[in-house]
Structure 1
Amino acid sequence: MVTLTGVGGVGKTRLALRVATQLGRSYRDGAWLVELAEVHDDDLVVHTAAQALGIQDWSARGVAHVLADYVEDKEILLVLDNCEQVLDGCVKACTMLLDVAPELRILATSRQPLDVYGEHVVVVPTLPVTEAHQAGADAGNSVRLFAERAEAAGSRPTPDQDGAVARLCRELDGIPLAIELAAARTRFLSVDELLARIGDRFRLLAGNRSALPRHQTLQATMDWSYELCSAEERLLWARMSVFSGGMDLAAVEDVCSGPGLGPETVLELMASLVDKSILTRERTPTGTTRYRLLATVREYGRGLLADDERTRLRRLHRDHYLALAERGGREWFGPDQLRWRARIAAEHDNLRAALEFCTTEPGQVQEGLRLAGALWFYWTACGLIAEGRQWLDRLLALDAIPTAPRATALWVCSWLASHQGDLVRGRATAEGCSAVAEQLNDAGLAAFGLHLQGVDAMAEGHLEEASSLTARAWSYHRTHPRITSPMVMSLVQAGLVACLRGETDRASGYAQECLQITAEAGELWTRSWGLVVRGLASWMRGDADDAVTHLRESIGIKSRFNDLFGLGMAAEVLAWSHVSRGEHDRAARLFGVLDRLWQLVGVPLMGAQQLLDYRYRAQGRARAALGEGAFAELAAETANLPLLEGLATAVGGKPRPAPVRREPQRGPLTRREFQVAEAVSQGLSNKEIAARLVISQRTAEAHVEHILTKLDFGSRTQIAAWIAGQQEAAT
């Protein structure tokens, strides 16, 4: 473990990302960034790390255990960025991960060391600056940074200004962020004017500038930048500091406008703050524009708010994201699900901040229950089961008043707990929902109580009870004037229970009703579950061809949502169907992906023993038909690919003819490099390659770097694909 420390704005994050970019591709399982700047709860560190690695924890073991199991055999470079505000959580996570994963390497950035055993601390220096008598000389990177940022602002310094630029960088102690903030001002002031103004500012702060500590330099630069803003710009800067992560224009207008700041002025003021490098603007993959305050800039803005003003703004912030979540819940059952998934995922940090406000600020628990309950689609359809459960459990423990928000939070919590295999909690919260619904005389909430009690009964193996409860729940739900996804999921659950009872015709009827309702609404996610039930029912009654058709459609939908749990369910039944059709090679490739997928989910097939028995029998038949060696080779073909790529290959792959081999072409590689590339394609780590070829690990790493450079590749996966192509060409 290496920790980069240094003052704020010195460039720890940029350095860590550069290191990860250059070294990450030599790690078999890649480099992964865990951004912690917006995390303020120590318990959320492991959740954030798991999400960065693509882990969707559906188990009740705890996300830390699932994360540990996942990384224990991986060769990964993990970058933990901005650890200082969750130091205890980072220490626990790093200690646990380093203990279980011998090939794991951690690169952390923090304003202070973590004091983890074996940690190497590297203090990141500021950029070099010249002494006063050398002011006309080339000051190196600090001057170059200023020139580049000034040019980006539209005003590159001339060569005769080099001396003034060097003196300015010295005044700023070579702190990159301070230099960038000053350079942004060249649109309005000359270098000499900047030097005079900032010099005056610093002399006011301290008589002897050279004795001023560097953290005061950054504070002074922030003060200076703040004073050069207009009154409205200052006000917006301070108010925007309540956001976590990014924000869009609508959110800023909603939360930050008010006394002294009209909503019609917000866009112009934001553009001005972008010009001053206070605010950054970025385009999302969906084409929308988002804005972000750098962590240091945001901290400064928060310090400008009085306590009562900060509380008022945080309440407005919560209200904005509560309205967004409730609207998402209402509109989820329709054609815009993928858009909603992207939109809510982009606001993850802000949703966390809103939920934290509700758990820590007196009198806000009911609003927190509304928010956590409204996010049911985010917790379930987007794979955040463990984190959703954590928020719901915390909020439910804080307020027991029988209200509609509490009843909703109870059935959502039951849904999450049941899918984690925590049947005791699932049953208790489902019954709690029913009890509150009875007190409120709310038939709609009562239906959810029945539905979730049916889910628990199914997981407990009480299939007759589960059949009755889920059927009654759907009967109540279907009379509701507006159908939603959770309502139709009771129909899906009823179909799944019917399958487990061997009532395949009844299950097909439930599935068909689900498909009809979702088709009329243009809905996809719930439809994909109806297709799973239809496929399972068809397979159970011996119609594997029909099963394959529906399961392939389901996988196509679920891949777009990155619904790993749903993909696992659909791919499992598809594998069983291929075994039934005698297509054992296709089944083997699917089982190869599934072994990796269930690692990311944490609990295969909801832990349902009947489904697990189906899996073991199908897998056993495929192994027996192919032979252990051939089965393992076919499974490895997809297991070593990126998850969705491996799944697509397994679903759409064709049986290969018997190979006739000749010597593959090595291309630009030497014989030894080709041997290393073949070892990489087999999934070996650098350490394992070194042992196989009797070379040092450093030599193996150098060979991998040379291969990547010669082939102009960016990852080990590309090497594996190239080797496969060379071998196929030789067949």
Structure 2
Amino acid sequence: MPDTTHPNPGNLGNLPPETRSFVGRRAELARLRAALDPGVGRARLVSVVGVGGVGKTRLALRAAARVRDAYPDGVWLTELSPLHTEGLVDLAVMETLRLADQSTRPVIDVITEWADGRRLLLILDSCEHLLADCAKLAAALLARLPDLRILLTSRERLALPGEDVLHLEPLPVDSRTGDLAEVGDAVALFTERAAAAGRPVAEADRATAAAVCRRLDGIPLALELAAARLADLTLDELHTRLDARLPSPLDLLVSDTGEGPPRHRTLRTAIGWSHELCAPLERLLWARLSVFTGGFCAETAQQVCAGGPLAPERIAGLLDRLVAQSLVLPDPVISARYRMLDTVREYGTDWLYALGEDRAVRRRHREHYARLAHQGCAEWNTGRQVAWCERVLTEHANFRAAVESALAEPDRGAAVEMAGHVGFLWRHCGYLREAQHCLDQALAADPPPGHGRTLALWSRGAVAILQGDQEAAANWALRCADAAREQGSPVAQVAAVYLRGGQLALTGRLAEAIDVLAAAPRLTVQDDAFGAAQLQVRLALSLAHVLRGEYERARAVADEVRTASRRQGECWAGAYADYLIAEADLGRGDIPAAILGARTSIAGHALLHNTAGAAMSLDLLATAVVAGGDAHRAARLLGIGTRLWELTGRAQLDSPDLIATRRTCELRVREHLGDTVYETGYRAGLAMSYDEGIAYATGRADGR
């Protein structure tokens, strides 16, 4: 499965691959390329505006790909259609840029600090439902970042000063040159898609094809849907049915019952026509699939959409039919996963509401992801951990929608339980801010006591610790300890010790931390979220010993965690245990062991896309490597580490001890190499992508 969140600061950004040919738009593409070329275009905000289905996103992505070389720090696509709540656009951009920020600073500050001095192109796709948020973010970013350009697609412009707007019209049906031997772009697109459906358009039928394209106003999505129908209809049948179904342009212009401009109503009518041609069960599945956000797989579709006349065993075949009709599209990146275009999904949402199934299907969606989150937490401290991390990353948008749905319901117990499970998973998979957001909402309503509330309190405190908000962590630690006692769970009470002991250790109260952590009962380690917390209690104890220079004790405790981690099959705590063992080995003077341990730790953190953990281990590795006499390699490792720390928003976690250690290492490397040679090596590491840096650090790149 491809990585969707880990840092990859190379110059390719995250543009998806094109999966279908691009037809026409030569003039528009040239215009947009020129606008986006820093050497030609003057506007730093470029908007592609047009009705739904007119091809705004495809044109924007094609133009962005053509100018990619002009943006050495990346072309980054943020898809906004999965967002249903205001106030999350800046967070979505931060996640797009793969900034694993672990602070509580305003998101706009995090983005601008990282992007300052970088030349990149940011694409905001499908802005129409979040115009105010997009305008606010774009204005702030452009004011602070002179090397940034923003390209957006929307049904409406942002109306900001200096905005360069390209109004995208439908494809022309007739040749622009008037040459009868040529066809317009609309006919070219239609005939190409018809051939893909197994029905090539003969030369003698070009006039009929052109008539079809005129009836559909040259709107690309409508043309694609119509062409897909040729798998079941002849071209003449398609034309006849369209002619009978669609009102005339005059009817559209004088109608006072339609919504939106005439071309938008043409598209809606064309989609409605496609809907009418679907079999009844295909229509029902289309409507039910509209509850998914950010994609779905066939198995999940079966679990959420089955019911009534839709038997579970029918879902896969019906899904294949919707794919064949271009109503559902294969995901261009993740195999065996599907998505719907915004306009098609909107139609399905309207139909679901008209059927009176909206609340019921959304409840099934919410309950499915609640079960999934519960299962993920139940198996987190096992050999399934990496697989669950990948699942959480892939299903992030659906988890977000399910949590929002749960929080909107009156059942506070169910809401806090879901927030607790999802918050725990998000905390361990890098979504700290979203974890904070959902947990704060769930806990603000004074939910009833129980396992869900205790886990939510623990997760919220654990988020605060990673964010460096130790004052808040102390408060959550007290509330979690009270809840664990009220719940009567010994394991939950042990888990709560991590919050208090970890907070003490990170604020320099090491003796107190050791007393608190060492006193925690040693219970059998569980397979679930609280089992993971049990291991983190011992990790915090080992860290406190390291910070006090008690290396033998630190190593002994960390080795216990590593043994337990391997027994459980998990790697989150194990990677931190390897880091602490390497710290202890370095303190004891065993440099080869420290180098090996640091590399092992980096590899473990990389499996879970733990940027902060990998960055900590990189700093340690650099210190061990220079101690072993390889200052050249250490300089490059420091550059790689800096790149990762930039993504977290908190260099060395704002820890005075880690900052001092990093500074000492740098001074030592400079002393060995001299400033000029050091800077050369350091900048070489800084220029590496995430994957290149991890490969170099772990020795995979050069066999060391």
Pair in the same fold by TM > 0.5: yes
Whole-angstrom CA distance in 2 between matches of 1:157 and 1:480 = 64
Task: Structure 2: state its 5+ residue gaps.
Answer: 1-44, 256-260
Partner residue of 2:303? 254
- Residue in structure 2 matching 1:328, options 376, 388, 394: 376
Structure whose residues are more often helix by fraction: 1
Whole-angstrom CA distance in 1 between matches of 2:665 and 2:547 = 17
Counterpart amino acid of residue 317 in structure 1: H
Cα drift, residue 302 of structure 1: 0.5
Contact 2:424 2:459 in 1 (8 A): no
Q: Quick check: 1:221 aligned with 2:293?
A: no
- Residue in structure 2 matching 1:339, options 369, 377, 387: 387
Cα drift, residue 479 of structure 1: 6.2
Cα drift, residue 408 of structure 1: 0.7
Task: Structure 1: state its 5+ residue gaps.
Answer: 656-731
Q: How does 1:73-222 map to 2 (within 5 A)?
A: 73-130=117-174, 138-203=182-247, 207=251, 213-222=262-271
Distance 1:480 1:352, change over 3 A: closer
Cα drift, residue 16 of structure 1: 0.7
Cα drift, residue 523 of structure 1: 2.4
Whole-angstrom CA distance in 2 between matches of 1:490 and 1:580 = 31
Q: Quick check: 1:5 aligned with 2:49?
A: yes
- Residue in structure 2 matching 1:384, options 424, 431, 445: 431
Whole-angstrom CA distance in 2 between matches of 1:100 and 1:602 = 17
Task: Name the TM-score, length of structure 2 as normaliser.
Answer: 0.88
Q: Quick check: 1:599 aligned with 2:646?
A: yes
Whole-angstrom CA distance in 2 between matches of 1:124 and 1:207 = 23
Counterpart amino acid of residue 575 in structure 2: S
Whole-angstrom CA distance in 1 between matches of 2:149 and 2:627 = 44
Secondary structure of the corresponding residue to residue 430 of structure 2: coil
Contact 2:382 2:527 in 1 (8 A): no
Q: Quick check: 1:403 aligned with 2:450?
A: yes
Counterpart amino acid of residue 584 in structure 1: A
Whole-angstrom CA distance in 1 between matches of 2:701 and 2:124 = 41
Partner residue of 1:414? 461
Whole-angstrom CA distance in 2 between matches of 1:289 and 1:254 = 16
Whole-angstrom CA distance in 1 between matches of 2:287 and 2:501 = 50
Contact 2:652 2:659 in 1 (8 A): yes
Counterpart amino acid of residue 543 in structure 1: D
Partner residue of 1:270? 319
Contact 1:638 1:647 in 2 (8 A): no
Whole-angstrom CA distance in 2 between matches of 1:139 and 1:220 = 25
CA offset digits 1:443-499 (Å, max 9, x no partner): 2222222111111111221112211222234x3444658773232122111111111
Counterpart amino acid of residue 272 in structure 1: R
Secondary structure of the corresponding residue to residue 306 of structure 1: helix
Whole-angstrom CA distance in 2 between matches of 1:479 and 1:270 = 43
Secondary structure of the corresponding residue to residue 305 of structure 1: helix
Secondary structure of the corresponding residue to residue 128 of structure 1: coil
Contact 1:6 1:111 in 2 (8 A): yes
Secondary structure of the corresponding residue to residue 621 of structure 2: helix
Q: Quick check: 1:241 aligned with 2:290?
A: yes
- Residue in structure 1 matching 2:518, options 466, 471, 475: 471
Report the number of matched residues.
Answer: 649
Contact 1:559 1:644 in 2 (8 A): no
- Residue in structure 2 matching 1:19, options 63, 67, 87: 63
Q: Quick check: 1:529 aligned with 2:576?
A: yes
CA offset digits 1:266-303 (Å, max 9, x no partner): 11211111111111124755xx5112111110000111
Q: Quick check: 1:38 aligned with 2:38?
A: no
Counterpart amino acid of residue 347 in structure 2: Y
Contact 2:461 2:499 in 1 (8 A): yes
- Residue in structure 1 matching 2:600, options 540, 549, 553: 553
Counterpart amino acid of residue 541 in structure 1: R
Contact 2:583 2:594 in 1 (8 A): yes
Q: Quick check: 1:433 aligned with 2:480?
A: yes
Secondary structure of the corresponding residue to residue 519 of structure 2: helix
Q: How does 1:280-295 map to 2 (within 5 A)?
A: 280-282=329-331, 285=334, 288-295=335-342
Task: Name the TM-score, length of structure 1 as normaliser.
Answer: 0.85
Secondary structure of the corresponding residue to residue 129 of structure 1: coil
Secondary structure of the corresponding residue to residue 198 of structure 2: coil
Whole-angstrom CA distance in 2 between matches of 1:16 and 1:367 = 42
Whole-angstrom CA distance in 1 between matches of 2:465 and 2:481 = 16
Greater shift after overlay, 222-231 or 195-204?
Answer: 195-204
Cα drift, residue 3 of structure 1: 0.8
Contact 2:413 2:447 in 1 (8 A): no
CA offset digits 1:522-580 (Å, max 9, x no partner): 32232111100101111122222211111111112222332211101111111111232
Partner residue of 2:103? 59
Whole-angstrom CA distance in 1 between matches of 2:551 and 2:463 = 27
CA offset digits 1:204-244 (Å, max 9, x no partner): 89647899810110011011111111111111111111111
Contact 2:381 2:527 in 1 (8 A): no
Whole-angstrom CA distance in 1 between matches of 2:549 and 2:374 = 38
CA offset digits 1:117-141 (Å, max 9, x no partner): 321111111100239xx99764321
- Residue in structure 2 matching 1:514, options 536, 561, 584: 561
Q: Quick check: 1:624 aligned with 2:671?
A: yes
Secondary structure of the corresponding residue to residue 43 of structure 1: coil
Whole-angstrom CA distance in 2 between matches of 1:137 and 1:40 = 48
Identity %: 37
Contact 1:135 1:163 in 2 (8 A): no
- Residue in structure 2 matching 1:312, options 360, 364, 386: 360
Counterpart amino acid of residue 390 in structure 1: H
Secondary structure of the corresponding residue to residue 606 of structure 2: helix
Cα drift, residue 647 of structure 1: 4.0
Partner residue of 2:399? 351
Counterpart amino acid of residue 219 in structure 2: I
Secondary structure of the corresponding residue to residue 34 of structure 1: strand
Secondary structure of the corresponding residue to residue 72 of structure 2: coil
